[in-house]
Amino acid sequence: MRVRSLELHRLAVPLVRPFETSFGRQTGRQVLMVRVRTDVGDGWGECVAGTDPVYSSEYVDGCEDVIRHYLGPAMLAADDVTAEGVAALFAFVIGHRMAKAAVETAVLDAQLRAVDTSFASYFGAERTEVDCGVSVGISPTIPALLDEVSLYVSQGYRRIKLKIKPGWDLEPVAAVRDLLGTDALLQVDANTAYTLLDLDHLRRLDEYNLLLIEQPFVEDDIRSHVSLAGAISTPVCLDESIVNTELALDAIDRGATSIINIKAGRMGGYLEALALHDACVEQGVPVWCGGMLETGVGRAANVALAALPGFTLPGDTSASDRYFAEDLTEPFVLHDGRLTVPTGPGSGVTVREELLGAWAQRPVEVLRAG
C-alpha cells in the first residue's frame, strides 16, 4: 500500500466510574486515535498510552510527538507499506512501542479491509466467542468493593481481578473470596507496587486460592520475581515486564513467571503479540489478554487476539459498558460471560464519526505524503 495521509485524533473519553490502581485514579481517558488513509482504503489504530508516564515511560503526549515527527514521516515517505514491514520501517526509533503499535494496527486494519479479511482470520483465531474477566479498581471501602464485584458477577463475568497495593490487599482479597466462594476465578494485580521486602506479606495471599498474582515488582526487576515465584504457591504472572518475545522467554526460563499477560500495545503491536503467543504455546505457558481501558477500536483487536488457542485464561476484554456509557464504535455486549469475536473486514467495527467530533480535544492533525 501507499499511505497518503495520517490523521491524529485526540479525544477525551469519559468513564462511567473512576478507575483506581496503585498508579493513581482515572475519571476519563485521553485517547489518541490514528487513522491512515491509503490508496486501498482507510484503517484505524488506538494508542493505549496513559495521560502521564506512571504505568510506563510512554504517555499520550509523547506518543503523539513521536508519531508526528518520526513514525508518520517515515511511513509517508515509504513507497510500499505493509503491517508486516512496519516494525522494520520504525526500527530506527528506539522504544516507543505504544506509539508504534497504534500505527501498525491502523496499517493492518487498512490492509485487511482491502482484502475483506478479519483480524480474527489473520491472527488464526479458533473461537467465535471469548471468556471475559473484569478488572476491579481500588475502592474507597470494602462494602463498596463488594457491591461492585457483586454487580459484575450478576452480569456474568467469568473471572474477577482485583487491583491491590500496600495497605489494600489481604483484607479486600479475603472479603471478595468469601463473597465468591472457594472455586471462583479470582486473581490480583499489584501494578509494581511492592518490593522483595514484602515477600512474607505476599505469601499470605496463598491461602485465598488465587489464579495468579500479577506484576508485584517493578518491571525491570526480574530477579525479585524469580525469588517470589520460588517462595509462594500462587502463580506469578508478568505484565509490565513483557515488552517483547525474547524478554518473555528469558523470564520464563529463569522461573520468574509461569503465566504471561499479553498486551499488544505494550509490545509494539499485534504481530509481536502473535509471536509471543506462539512461543508460549510451544513452551506450554498459558497466556491471557490484558486491557488498557480501550475503546471499541482497541477492544475489537483484543477480542480477536484472545480467540487464539493459547489464550486459555479469561482476559480483561470486558464489555463496553464496564468503562463507557457510549463507545467509540458499536458496543461490545456481554452474553453469558463472553464477547463475540468480530468477523467483518479488518477490526470489524466502525468508528462513530459523531463521537470523534463530540470528544475531540482539538482539531484533527493531518500529516500528508510529500
Does residue 21 surpass a pLDDT of 80? no
- The domain containing residue 165 runs over which residues? 120-340
Residues 105 and 127 in one domain: no
* Residue 21 within a domain: yes
- We report the CATH number of the domain holding residue 27 as 3.30.390.10
Residues 299 and 329 in one domain: yes
Does residue 107 surpass a pLDDT of 90? yes
Does residue 22 surpass a pLDDT of 90? no
What residues are labeled active site? Answer: 163, 263
26 forms beta bridges with: 19
Residues 70 and 143 in one domain: no
Residues 208 and 100 in one domain: no
Q: What is the pLDDT of residue 25?
A: 72
* Residue 167 within a domain: yes
Q: Which residues of 143-168 are buried (b: 16+ CB within 10 A; e: fewer)?
A: eebbebbeebbeeebbbbbbbbbeeb
Instruction: Please write the tens of the pLDDT for every residue from 34-72.
Output: 999 999 999 999 999 999 998 899 999 999 999 999 999
Q: Which of 24-38, 180-194, 313-327, 335-349 has the lowest mean pLDDT?
A: 24-38
Does residue 20 surpass a pLDDT of 70? no
- We report the CATH number of the domain holding residue 300 as 3.20.20.120
Q: What domain count does the chain have?
A: 2
> Of the candidates 175, 225, 182, which has an alpha carbon nearest to the alpha carbon of residue 202?
225
Residues 281 and 293 in one domain: yes
Average per-residue pLDDT for the chain:
96
Residue 23 — very low, low, confident or very high, per pLDDT cuts 50/70/90?
A: low
Question: Can you tell me whether residue 98 is helix, strand or coil?
Answer: helix
Which grid coordinates belong to 196? 522483595
Residues 179-201, mean pLDDT to the nearest whole number: 96
Residues 164 and 221 in one domain: yes
Residues 70-96, mean pLDDT to the nearest whole number: 97
Instruction: Please write the tens of the pLDDT for every residue from 6-17.
Output: 999 999 999 988
Alpha helices in the chain (DSSP H): 60-66, 72-77, 83-89, 97-114, 119-123, 142-155, 170-180, 199-203, 222-231, 245-253, 264-267, 270-283, 296-306, 353-358
* Residue 347 within a domain: no
Q: What is the pLDDT of residue 28?
A: 81
Residues 77 and 134 in one domain: no
Q: What is the pLDDT of residue 370?
A: 75
Q: Report DSSP state, residue 69.
A: I
Residues 59 and 166 in one domain: no
Q: Who contacts 296 (Cβ-Cβ below 8 Å, separation ≥6)? A: 320, 327, 328, 329, 330, 331, 332, 349
Q: Judge whether 369 and 2 are in contact, CB under 8 Å.
A: yes
Name the percent of the chain lying above pLDDT 70. Answer: 99
* Residue 14 within a domain: yes
Q: Who contacts 90 (Cβ-Cβ below 8 Å, separation ≥6)? A: 70, 71, 74, 75, 100, 103
Residues 218 and 235 in one domain: yes
* Residue 7 within a domain: yes
* Residue 346 within a domain: no
- Give the separation between CA 37 and CA 43, rounded to whole angstroms: 7
- Give the separation between CA 208 and CA 23, rounded to whole angstroms: 24
* Residue 345 within a domain: no
* Residue 205 within a domain: yes
